[in-house]
Structure 1
């Protein structure tokens, strides 16, 4: 019997999988979930409403390493099997509209739902794309299966629950969420933690819920700056109203990526929570706009396969850039396109260029070449035809899956243009059409000016240009090409230019010392960090002065603080009685209480100083199993180096 059952499961895994979308249409999931942080377990009772499209002898849901009980089909117990990857329901199904499958489940998720804990906080959050929601909630990994998810979640006392859709009710630690439309399973989101929120409303009346940690109230405005403006802009620019009931943005600790566009509920890395100074160094604006654009391009319409991934990432990159153009201006827009073109050109030079429809293409290709395709396409067919096509595309394929030809067909209809030559060049070709892109860039006088200023080709006017009213980008180009032209006047330029001055002048001339010291009070944590280090190296006699001046500055992800601690430890006769305390502070930054970027920075300082003590080493060993691949990879590499030295 066991052999026969095993053969049945094996046969289904080969045959049933490919046929399920033709036979079954899962419509709705209602899941009641409770989470036990101490055991790192998920418990749930779920009901799945589905339609049988044609006769079939089994159906399945993806379910990784789960245990099931009380499995009921249309009110009756039903035979099922569990192969640790799927739950299979064995039944003679006939075409029918209303069916319901119910069961209880429990699971210890290995990925996709993460328990992030330290002495200072506890968070639980999900990441479905690339990790599969089926690791914590039975669902369908195939992105072409779109289901309406309504979650009820029980949370420990004192914690907030945030998930997709509108919060209907909150009672005794239970949160009831409602979605109105279907989505791919990878877009299911759940966050549990300690949060406050600020709510704004778009012009169209959509609630915009901006979440933050209670201690980060002063970071709310800089972090979420322009959020409402970008939302209103994109609704108008896209020409298709925001398709969900609410839009939430939630920072989480040690997130796997910059952000993730879960339907109606973007999750993003809390390292983007910045104060007013940090905004000048690393802000959330682009990620904010990118994930918001995905609510249409990715969530509303979803690529059928990896071959068409650019329909999500290229569109999100392009519309984010349009939103930024509305805020920062046309020169910013063209500068970003220029940078993208240079990156794509370099990729081709390295022999790594691929067709936009190659599912193994790089992120650079999917995101930035995809963005360029849309810019070039709009230039070709005109703004009116382009916008009409985008609107028609979204209306026709809303809540469905798409491929590239679906979009191109709409553009051909609206413009009356045969786009085959365009598609062959911009989409199918392995090389990025740099010459054609460059021609489009030269429509911008800003780009013309930037290319005209070239000190390597003609040095005669560069000193004049540096003191003129040319763009910051052109001045930065001069500074990088000819740092000998830097004078006291150069330090009177914009913050952006001064950031580059700090980096370029690693050897500081005596006549520029006072000007360079002024960088320590610039409104940029990156500038403060670079200036502190270079001044400390160049003028040993003033080290204590520089350290006193920057004491108490944390910076962006503690960048200034960590450098300060390292330099203080290496400065003779500076705070001798506090050296042990300073050292212990630096070691403490390697603990799980801090974000992985902070920890990696602290580890690097200690390892460079050969000061990684027992506590530091324990934290490094613990970091090998960190859920964020950057942290775990870093820890493994550093331990391997230490072992080789020993």
Structure 2
């Protein structure tokens, strides 16, 4: 997790050299060899995604300056990354897919760098001591290319649209548009300065820090997410949008944005997002961020993603259940984030169960009825063969992670009773606010709050490849 101190970054000064970057490829790395020290690992330590993230440092803040031409699908950009060395470093890696790198510096001194696949290796002029705070600045340019992975979300990352870009990055698509420690184990704060052709709107996480500035046929939007965020939740979605802004009934800033092709969705998206955010605040505890809302873009992704403060809906008008799901993630997945992808049910099971709770709140269906409907599936149904407590890297978003994960929570609710269950959920959200969570931590807290031994219940629902008996 990134440092808790607030960091101010001058993004305007960051790219004074951007216009001087070569347009025909990366500047050749210098030939200097690293001095004595230790190399940061090319992965953060997640065995299921061995090259995602990087070892040796912890990012506190990303300052991103992006200038995108949708017509040419070309991005000129710079990143200023403030971090702290967690070991002595003679070199360290960042995740970056594609692009020509124009230059790299560490603490204002030119650094050597090299590329290998999606790894950008940076060699500072002097090794960094353990505990040292440092800033690495990188200029880069090119045409962002999304990741196409049929085993997970399909197409994700920076996705060009007819008028801009739809940017959704789970699980590891942040590297398609900025150099990053691209794994949920490392949270950081973000500042975005996004320049687009006049007439377009650029949307990012958090809140605008000032009025958009227009000059020379371009408009620049500056956004700040002051709360810790994992990289896959970052967005810089841009294009033509119709906006509605205001506050929820409890006073939380609310912004809804829709592509003109979905203008009929705007009022519903705004209203339901506000109602859901306020209701979840009463069920899960105080809303963890400073704004809420949602964005509907015209890319037919066929899925939604819980981008922090601005869930993204790809090419469809979301119903109340989907909005309830994505906004529940603001607590479970965004404020409370997994350390390793194998625990993904802590995100998706909770958000799916929130859909059932929303139906209860609306008087449409009881969670027990939804549970019973799924439990009636035969023992040969694939959902029982996939234990959701151990998400598989080639099938992260399997239905079991969502549905059987939600069923685990309902089985727990039935076992310990409503008073203990809802106290547990609030305690869980409060104790790990802006932090990281694991399944053993949740089991331990459930046992503490309920005063019951629950290892058999969790084992049956999360880890056995069969339908639990007696439910």
Q: Say if 1:258 and 1:287, in contact at 8 Å, map to a contact too.
A: no
In the alignment, which residue of structure 1 is the partner of 2:221?
A: 175
1:322 to 354, 357, 360: 357
In the alignment, which residue of structure 1 is the partner of 2:183?
A: 142
Q: Say if 1:66 and 1:84, in contact at 8 Å, map to a contact too.
A: no
Q: Distance in 2 between matches of 1:315 and 1:63?
A: 31
In the alignment, which residue of structure 2 is the partner of 1:33?
A: 66
Q: Secondary structure at the match of 1:17?
A: coil
The correspondence of residues 435-446 of structure 1 with structure 2, limited to 5 A, is 436-437=470-471
In the alignment, which residue of structure 1 is the partner of 2:206?
A: 165
Q: Larger deviation: 12-21 or 81-90?
A: 12-21
The correspondence of residues 258-407 of structure 1 with structure 2, limited to 5 A, is 258-272=303-317, 284-329=319-364, 331-342=365-376, 345-346=377-378, 348-349=380-381, 353-360=385-392, 363-407=398-442
The correspondence of residues 95-134 of structure 1 with structure 2, limited to 5 A, is 95-111=130-146, 112-117=157-162, 122-130=163-171, 132-134=173-175
Q: Distance in 2 between matches of 1:213 and 1:351?
A: 36
Q: Say if 1:164 and 1:264, in contact at 8 Å, map to a contact too.
A: yes
In the alignment, which residue of structure 1 is the partner of 2:284?
A: 238
1:429/1:39 CA distance change after superposition, 3 Å: same
* Displacement of 1:175: 0.4
Q: Distance in 1 between matches of 2:423 and 2:142?
A: 47
Q: Distance in 1 between matches of 2:363 and 2:43?
A: 48
Q: Distance in 1 between matches of 2:222 and 2:428?
A: 33
1:94 aligns with 2:129: yes
Q: Larger deviation: 228-237 or 202-211?
A: 202-211
In the alignment, which residue of structure 1 is the partner of 2:153?
A: none
In the alignment, which residue of structure 1 is the partner of 2:24?
A: none
Deviations 1:223-251 (A, max 9, x none): 55533222111110012x11111113111
* Displacement of 1:346: 3.7
* Displacement of 1:374: 0.7
Q: Distance in 1 between matches of 2:105 and 2:410?
A: 52
Structure showing greater Rg: 1
Q: Secondary structure at the match of 1:138?
A: coil
Q: Say if 1:123 and 1:252, in contact at 8 Å, map to a contact too.
A: no
In the alignment, which residue of structure 1 is the partner of 2:230?
A: 184
Deviations 1:543-581 (A, max 9, x none): xxxxxxxxxxxxxxxxxxxxxxxxxxxxxxxxxxxxxxx
1:255/1:13 CA distance change after superposition, 3 Å: farther
TM-score (norm 2): 0.81
Q: Say if 2:244 and 2:270, in contact at 8 Å, map to a contact too.
A: no
1:386/1:155 CA distance change after superposition, 3 Å: same
Q: Secondary structure at the match of 1:271?
A: coil
The correspondence of residues 12-23 of structure 1 with structure 2, limited to 5 A, is 15-18=41-44, 23=56
The correspondence of residues 418-429 of structure 1 with structure 2, limited to 5 A, is 418-429=453-464
TM-score (norm 1): 0.60
1:60 aligns with 2:122: no
Q: Secondary structure at the match of 2:101?
A: strand
Q: Say if 1:25 and 1:53, in contact at 8 Å, map to a contact too.
A: yes
2:118 to 75, 85, 91: 85
Tell me which protein shows more strand as a share of its residues.
Answer: 2
1:252 aligns with 2:297: yes
Q: Say if 2:336 and 2:432, in contact at 8 Å, map to a contact too.
A: yes
Q: Secondary structure at the match of 1:226?
A: helix
Q: Distance in 1 between matches of 2:188 and 2:235?
A: 14
In the alignment, which residue of structure 2 is the partner of 1:505?
A: none
Aligned length: 413
In the alignment, which residue of structure 1 is the partner of 2:12?
A: none
Q: Distance in 1 between matches of 2:324 and 2:161?
A: 27
In structure 2, list runs of 5 or more residues that go unmatched. Answer: 1-27, 46-52, 147-156
CA RMSD of aligned residues (A): 2.7
Q: Distance in 2 between matches of 1:255 and 1:396?
A: 38
Structure of higher RCO (CA pairs closer than 8 Å, 6+ residues apart): 2
Q: Say if 2:273 and 2:292, in contact at 8 Å, map to a contact too.
A: no
Q: Distance in 2 between matches of 1:350 and 1:84?
A: 35
* Displacement of 1:308: 1.0
Q: Say if 1:123 and 1:253, in contact at 8 Å, map to a contact too.
A: no
Q: Distance in 2 between matches of 1:261 and 1:13?
A: 34
1:333/1:411 CA distance change after superposition, 3 Å: closer
